[in-house]
C-alpha cells in the first residue's frame, strides 16, 4: 500500500505530534514535520536507517526497540516514555505509542515531547525523597515545594486538616482546622478519599487521581509520617495535572483521528483495506465460535476505467459515492462494506445460516448497481462483477478468502460481466438452480436468451464434415453461457423443453436451409428430441410446419432420441418414431450403451443410427472393458444394418482406434467444440479442398 498517497500526507504538516512509520524490517518509511522538529534533523537524515545520532545509548535503544516492536506487533498496546538526543546535543523525553498497521505489518509510532513534564516530575521526586528523610515542617523545604507549585496537605489521625501550604490554599481555600477536605471546593462531604487515608494508616504509599467537578485534575501522592511526639499524620503532595490531562486528551483525540484516517477511505468514508482485513478476521473468529458462515464479496465495477478516463475523475468520484450509497442499501446493517481502492469494493456477510441468502444479496447488488446514475445530465450505466468466497468452506485465512473472491470475480468478468460467481463451483451451481427456479425458463424464452450451437460430425477417414448436432445454450444476462446439462432437466420437469426444442428446431432448420441454398454442404442436421415431445399429440404436425416454414428437406434432418427415453415407454415410442420415419426423417439412438435396450425392441424400432455414448469413448483405447463394449456396439450396428457414430472423441488415439474398428463417423472436441453458426461455417463449410 502506498502510505504517502493514502492518508498519511494529511498528517504531514498540521500536527504537533511526531509520526514515524516503520516497515516490518524496521526501515523508516515516513516521518512528518513535527518529528523532524522534535529531533532537529531533516527528513533524509531521519529516514536513514540505524542513525545512532538520535540515541543516548545505541545498545540500549536496540534492546528497547526489540521489545517495543514485538509488543506492538502482538497487539499489546505500548505507551512508553523514552529519552532521545536532539541534533543540538540536548536530551529530550518523548512519550511513544505504537499502533500496528495490520495488513502490512508496518507500525505507526506517534511521539509527543514530554521533556518538561518529565523534568518537573524528576524535580518533585527528588524533593519528596529529601522531605521523607527529614522533618516535614522544615521551612526551606516547604518553601521549595511552594515554589514548584506542589500542594502540601497534612491531616492528623482524626482527619483534621493540620497544614496546607500556599499552593494548596490557592487551589482549595484555607481548610486548616477543618475535617479533611470537608467543604473543600468542588469536593463532596464526607470525604471521598477517606479510603485513601485508611490505606495510609497501614503505612503504605498511594497515588490517587481525583478530578474535581469543575474539571481540574489533581494527582495525590500520600504517605504517612511519624510526628516527633509519636503520633502519625498523613501528608499529601498534590499536583495540579489539569494541563497535563488536557495534553493527554488532545493526544487521544489526535490518535483517534489518525486511527480513523488510517482505517477509512477519504472519498467514501468506508473502511479501507486495513480495517476491512481486521473486520474479516473478527468475523471469521465469531463464525468459528458460532459454527456459522461468512461470505466475502469482491465487487469490481465493469468498465469503470473507461468512464473515469472519458468523463473525468470528478464524475468518477461521484459515481463511486453513488455506488457506495447503493451498496449500503443492498446489505444489512451488521454487514461490512469496504473500499479497497479504485473501483474495488468488498462486502462481508456474517451470521449466514443458509448459503441461499448469499445469492439473494448478490442479486440485489447487481440489480441496484445496474440502474442508471444521473450525473451532470449524463445517464450513466455501471454494472459490476462479483466474486464470492465463503468461510470456512473455501479457506480459513483472510488472505486466502480475499484471493479466492478476487479470482471468482475474474471468472465473473470472463462470463461477460454483470454477474456473480462463487469461488466454489458447486456453490455457483446451487445459485444457478435457485435462479433457474425463480427467474424461470419461460422468461428466458420470451427474452430470446437461448441460442443454438453446432458441433460438426466428421468422416474421420476423409476429415470431412458429414453433418452436425444442434445443441442449445442459454445466454443468461447475469450468469453468462449456461450449459444445457444444467437447465434441461428442469426444463423437462416443467415441460418447457417442448418450447425450447421447437425454438432450437426452428433456428437450426432455418440455418441448414440457408447453408444448402448457399451451395454449401453441411450434411445432416441432428437435433435432440426430448421425450416430452414424443408425448405431444401434435408433434408431427408442428414439426412438419417448421419444415415447410424453413424450407427444410427431410433428407437433411435427423432426430436423436436417448435410449433411456425410448425404453421408458417403448410401445408408445414405437408409434411416433414410425410416423417420424414415414416422413423420411432419420432417427439416431443417443447415449447408446447407457440404458437397458432390449435387442428385441431395437430390431422393431425404425432407427437408422447408433450413437456410442461418450462415457465409453473417454478411456479408449486403454480401458479394456470400454474397448470391448465399443467393439460390441459396432458389431451390433453392423448386424442390425445401422449406421454408427461415436461422440466425445477428444484425442487422436481415440479417433484412430475408432477408424481401425470400422466406426468412421465421429463427433467431439478433437474436431471442434459446439460453436455458433458463423464459426462452424467458417471452419468447416468454407474450406476449399
Ligand atoms: P448429448 O445429446 O449427449 O450431447 C453431447 C454433449 O457432449 C454436448 O454437451 C456436447 O457439448 C458434449 N461433447 C461433445 N463433444 C465432446 C467431447 O469431445 N468431450 C466432452 N467431454 N464432451 C463433448 P452439451 O451441449 O452440454 O449438452 C448436454 C446434453 O443436453 C445433450 O447431451 C443433450 O442431452 C441435451 N441437449 C442439448 N441441447 C439440447 C436441445 O436442443 N434439446 C434437447 N432436448 N436436449 C438438448
Ligand atoms: Ca445428442
Ligand atoms: Ca450423447
Residues 345/369, Cβ–Cβ less than 8 Å: no
- As beta bridge partners, residue 238 has 151, 220
Position 402 pLDDT exceeds 80:
yes
Q: How far is the CA of 572 from the centre of ligand 3 (A)?
A: 22
Q: How far is the CA of 51 from the centre of ligand 3 (A)?
A: 75
Q: Answer yes or no: is the C-beta of 501 below 6 A from any ligand 1 atom.
A: yes
**Which has more pLDDT, 26 or 611?**
611
- pTM of the full structure: 0.47
pLDDT range class, residue 5, cuts 50, 70, 90: very low
- Alpha-carbon gap, residue 1 to 6, rounded angstroms: 8
Q: How far is the CA of 563 from the centre of ligand 3 (A)?
A: 10
Position 182 pLDDT exceeds 60:
no
Position 625 pLDDT exceeds 50:
yes
Task: Give the pLDDT score at 380.
Answer: 83
Q: How far is the CA of 486 from the centre of ligand 2 (A)?
A: 15
Position 38 pLDDT exceeds 70:
yes
pLDDT digits (tens, 9 = 90+) for 484-541: 987 887 787 667 888 899 999 999 999 999 999 999 999 999 999 987 787 777 889 9
**Sign of dihedral through CA atoms 88, 89, 95, 97?**
positive
Mean pLDDT value across the chain: 83
Q: How far is the CA of 648 from the centre of ligand 3 (A)?
A: 8
Ligand number with the minimum distance to the CA of 457: 1
Residues 611/647, Cβ–Cβ less than 8 Å: yes
Task: Give the pLDDT score at 108.
Answer: 79
Position 355 pLDDT exceeds 80:
no
Task: Give the pLDDT score at 410.
Answer: 87
Task: Give the pLDDT score at 202.
Answer: 55
Secondary structure of 46-97 as H, E, C letters: HHCCCCHHHECCHHHHHHHHHHHHHHHHCCCCEEEEEEEECCCCCEEEEEEE
Q: Which H or E run includes 374?
A: strand 373-375
Q: Can you tell me which atom of ligand 1 is nearest the CA of 492? A: 44
From atom 46 of ligand 1, which residue's Cα is the shortest distance away?
Answer: 528
Domain boundaries, the chain: 3-113, 118-244, 267-423, 437-688
Listing DSSP states for 25-40 in one string gives: T--EEEE-HHHHHHHT
- Alpha-carbon gap, residue 608 to 644, rounded angstroms: 9
Q: Answer yes or no: is the C-beta of 526 below 6 A from any ligand 1 atom.
A: no
- Segment 393-401 shows an average pLDDT of 92
Burial of 380 (0-12, 13-18, 19+ CB in 10 A): middle
CATH of domain 118-244: 3.30.450.20
Q: Answer yes or no: is the C-beta of 484 below 6 A from any ligand 1 atom.
A: yes
pLDDT digits (tens, 9 = 90+) for 68-96: 888 887 777 667 788 898 989 899 988 88
Position 686 pLDDT exceeds 80:
yes
pLDDT digits (tens, 9 = 90+) for 562-585: 887 777 777 778 888 999 999 999
Q: Can you tell me which atom of ligand 1 is nearest the CA of 591? A: 3
Q: Answer yes or no: is the C-beta of 593 below 6 A from any ligand 1 atom.
A: no
pLDDT digits (tens, 9 = 90+) for 278-293: 999 999 999 999 888 9
Task: Give the pLDDT score at 4.
Answer: 40
Residues 26/68, Cβ–Cβ less than 8 Å: no
- Segment 64-70 shows an average pLDDT of 82
From atom 37 of ligand 1, which residue's Cα is the shortest distance away?
Answer: 471
Task: Give the pLDDT score at 208.
Answer: 59
- Alpha-carbon gap, residue 499 to 99, rounded angstroms: 65
**Which has more pLDDT, 651 or 144?**
651
From atom 35 of ligand 1, which residue's Cα is the shortest distance away?
Answer: 484
Task: Give the pLDDT score at 193.
Answer: 55
Task: Give the pLDDT score at 384.
Answer: 92
Same fold, 3-113 and 437-688: no
Position 127 pLDDT exceeds 50:
yes
pLDDT digits (tens, 9 = 90+) for 367-378: 899 888 888 777
Which architecture characterizes domain 267-423 according to CATH?
A: 2-Layer Sandwich (3.30)
Ligand 1 probe mutation, 505, 528, 658, most atoms within 8 A of CB: 528
Cell 466474486 sits on residue:
387
**Which has more pLDDT, 458 or 61?**
458
- Segment 269-273 shows an average pLDDT of 92
pLDDT range class, residue 186, cuts 50, 70, 90: very low
Task: Give the pLDDT score at 191.
Answer: 53
Percent of the chain with pLDDT over 90: 38
Q: What are phi and psi of 250, to 5 degrees?
A: -65, -40
From atom 6 of ligand 1, which residue's Cα is the shortest distance away?
Answer: 648
Three-state DSSP class for residue 372: coil
Secondary structure of 494-544 as H, E, C letters: HCCHHHHHHHHHHHHHHHHHHHHHCCCCCCEEEEECCHHHHHCCCHHHHHH
pLDDT range class, residue 29, cuts 50, 70, 90: confident
Task: Give the pLDDT score at 461.
Answer: 96
The Cα-based distances of 391 to 425, 534, 536, 568, 577 in angstroms read 15, 47, 48, 44, 53
In terms of average pLDDT, the best of 52-56, 389-393, 426-430 is 389-393
Task: Give the pLDDT score at 243.
Answer: 75
Position 124 pLDDT exceeds 80:
no
CATH of domain 437-688: 3.20.20.450
Q: Return all residues near 25 (Cβ < 8 A) that are at least 6 apart.
A: none
Degrees, nearest 5: CA angle 294-295-301: 150
Ligand 1 probe mutation, 472, 484, 588, 615, most atoms within 8 A of CB: 484
pLDDT range class, residue 126, cuts 50, 70, 90: confident
For 3-113, the fitting CATH number among 3.10.20.30, 3.30.450.20, 3.90.480.20, 3.40.50.700 is 3.30.450.20
Position 632 pLDDT exceeds 90:
yes
Position 161 pLDDT exceeds 90:
no
Which of 514, 490, 511 has the alpha carbon at shortest distance from 500?
490
Q: Strands 586-592, 557-562: parallel, antiparallel or unpaired by DSSP? A: parallel
Task: Give the pLDDT score at 8.
Answer: 47
Q: How far is the CA of 683 from the centre of ligand 3 (A)?
A: 23
Neighbours of ion ligand 2 (CB under 5 A): 528, 560, 590
Neighbours of ion ligand 3 (CB under 5 A): 590-591
Q: How far is the CA of 65 from the centre of ligand 3 (A)?
A: 70
Which of 429, 355, 416 has the alpha carbon at shortest distance from 385?
416
**Which has more pLDDT, 8 or 559?**
559
Amino acid at each position: 500500500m502506498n502510505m504517502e498517497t493514502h492518508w498519511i500526507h494529511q498528517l504531514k504538516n498540521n500536527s504537533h505530534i511526531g509520526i514515524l512509520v516503520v516497515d516490518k524490517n524496521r526501515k523508516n518509511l515516513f516521518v512528518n514535520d513535527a518529528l523532524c522538529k522534535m529531533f532537529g534533523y531533516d527528513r533524509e537524515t531521519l529516514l536513514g536507517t540505524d542513525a545512532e545520532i538520535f540515541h543516548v545509548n545505541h545498545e540500549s535503544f536496540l534492546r528497547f526497540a526489540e521489545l517495543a516492536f514485538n509488543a506492538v506487533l502482538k497487539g499489546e498496546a505500548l505507551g512508553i516514555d523514552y529519552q532521545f538526543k536532539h541534533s543540538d546535543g540536548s536530551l529530550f523525553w518523548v512519550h511513544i505509542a505504537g499502533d500496528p498497521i495490520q495488513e502490512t505489518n508496518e507500525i505507526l509510532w506517534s511521539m509527543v515531547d514530554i521533556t518538561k513534564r518529565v523534568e518537573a516530575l524528576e524535580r518533585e521526586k527528588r524533593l519528596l525523597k529529601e522531605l521523607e528523610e527529614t522533618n516535614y515542617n522544615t521551612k526551606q523545604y516547604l518553601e521549595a515545594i511552594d515554589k514548584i507549585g506542589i500542594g502540601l496537605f497534612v491531616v492528623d489521625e482524626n482527619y483534621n486538616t493540620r497544614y496546607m501550604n500556599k499552593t494548596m490554599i490557592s487551589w482549595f481555600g484555607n481548610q486548616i482546622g477543618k475535617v479533611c477536605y470537608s467543604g473543600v471546593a468542588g469536593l463532596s462531604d464526607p470525604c471521598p478519599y477517606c479510603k485513601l487515608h485508611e490505606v495510609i494508616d497501614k503505612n503504605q504509599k498511594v497515588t490517587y487521581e481525583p478530578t474535581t467537578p469543575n474539571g481540574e485534575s489533581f494527582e495525590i501522592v500520600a504517605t504517612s509520617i511519624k510526628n516527633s511526639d509519636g503520633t502519625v499524620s498523613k501528608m499529601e503532595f498534590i499536583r495540579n495535572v489539569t494541563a497535563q490531562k488536557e495534553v493527554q486528551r488532545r493526544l487521544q483525540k489526535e490518535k483517534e483521528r489518525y486511527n480513523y484516517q488510517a482505517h477509512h477511505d477519504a472519498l467514501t468514508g468506508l473502511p479501507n483495506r486495513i480495517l476491512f482485513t481486521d473486520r474479516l478476521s473478527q468475523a471469521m473468529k465469531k463464525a468459528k465460535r458460532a459454527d456459522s458462515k461468512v461470505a466475502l464479496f469482491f465487487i469490481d465495477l465493469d468498465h469503470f476505467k473507461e468512464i473515469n478516463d472519458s468523463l473525468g475523475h470528478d464524475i468518477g468520484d461521484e459515481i463511486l459515492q453513488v455506488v457506495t450509497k447503493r451498496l449500503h442499501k443492498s446489505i444489512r446493517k451488521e454487514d461490512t462494506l469496504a473500499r479497497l481502492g479504485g473501483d474495488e469494493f468488498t462486502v462481508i456477510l456474517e451470521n449466514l445460516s443458509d448459503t441461499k441468502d448469499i445469492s439473494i444479496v448478490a442479486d440485489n447488488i447487481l440489480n441496484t448497481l445496474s440502474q442508471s446514475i444521473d450525473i451532470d445530465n449524463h445517464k450513466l450505466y455501471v454494472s459490476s462483477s462479483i466474486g464470492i468466497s465463503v468461510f470456512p468452506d473455501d479457506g480459513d485465512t483472510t488472505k486466502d478468502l480475499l484471493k479466492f473472491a478476487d479470482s471468482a470475480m475474474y471468472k465473473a468478468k470472463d462470463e461477460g460481466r454483470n454477474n456473480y460467481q462463487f469461488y466454489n463451483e458447486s456453490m455457483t451451481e446451487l445459485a444457478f438452480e435457485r435462479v433457474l427456479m425463480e427467474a424461470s425458463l419461460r422468461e428466458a424464452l420470451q427474452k430470446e436468451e437461448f441460442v443454438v450451437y453446432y458441433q460438426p460430425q466428421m468422416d474421420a477417414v476423409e476429415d470431412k464434415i458429414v453433418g452436425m448436432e444442434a445443441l442449445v445454450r442459454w445466454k443468461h444476462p447475469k450468469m453468462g453461457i449456461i450449459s444445457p446439462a444444467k437447465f434441461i432437466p428442469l426444463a423437462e420437469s416443467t415441460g418447457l423443453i417442448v418450447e425450447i426444442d421447437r425454438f432450437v428446431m426452428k433456428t437450426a432448420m432455418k440455418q441448414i436451409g440457408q447453408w444448402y441454398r448457399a451451395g454449401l454442404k453441411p450434411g445432416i442436421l441432428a437435433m435432440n428430441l426430448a421425450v416430452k415431445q414424443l408425448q405431444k399429440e401434435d408433434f408431427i404436425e408442428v414439426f412438419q410446419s417448421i419444415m415447410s416454414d424453413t424450407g427444410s428437406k427431410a433428407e437433411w434432418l435427423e432426430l436423436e432420441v436417448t435410449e433411456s427415453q425410448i425404453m421408458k415407454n417403448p410401445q408408445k415410442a414405437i408409434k411416433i418414431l414410425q410416423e417420424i420415419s414415414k416422413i423420411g426423417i432419420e432417427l439416431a439412438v443417443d447415449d447408446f450403451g447407457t440404458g437397458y435396450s432390449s435387442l428385441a425392441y431395437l430390431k422393431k424400432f425404425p432407427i437408422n443410427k447408433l450413437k456410442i455414448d461418450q462415457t465409453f469413448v473417454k478411456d479408449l483405447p486403454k480401458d479394456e472393458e470400454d474397448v470391448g463394449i465399443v467393439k460390441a456396439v459396432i458389431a451390433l450396428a453392423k448386424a442390425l444394418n445401422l449406421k454408427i457414430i461415436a461422440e466425445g472423441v477428444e484425442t487422436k488415439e481415440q479417433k484412430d482406434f475408432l477408424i481401425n474398428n470400422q466406426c468412421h463417423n465421429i463427433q467431439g472436441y478433437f474436431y471442434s467444440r459446439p460453436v455458433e453458426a458463423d464459426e462452424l461455417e467458417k471452419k468447416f463449410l468454407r474450406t476449399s479442398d
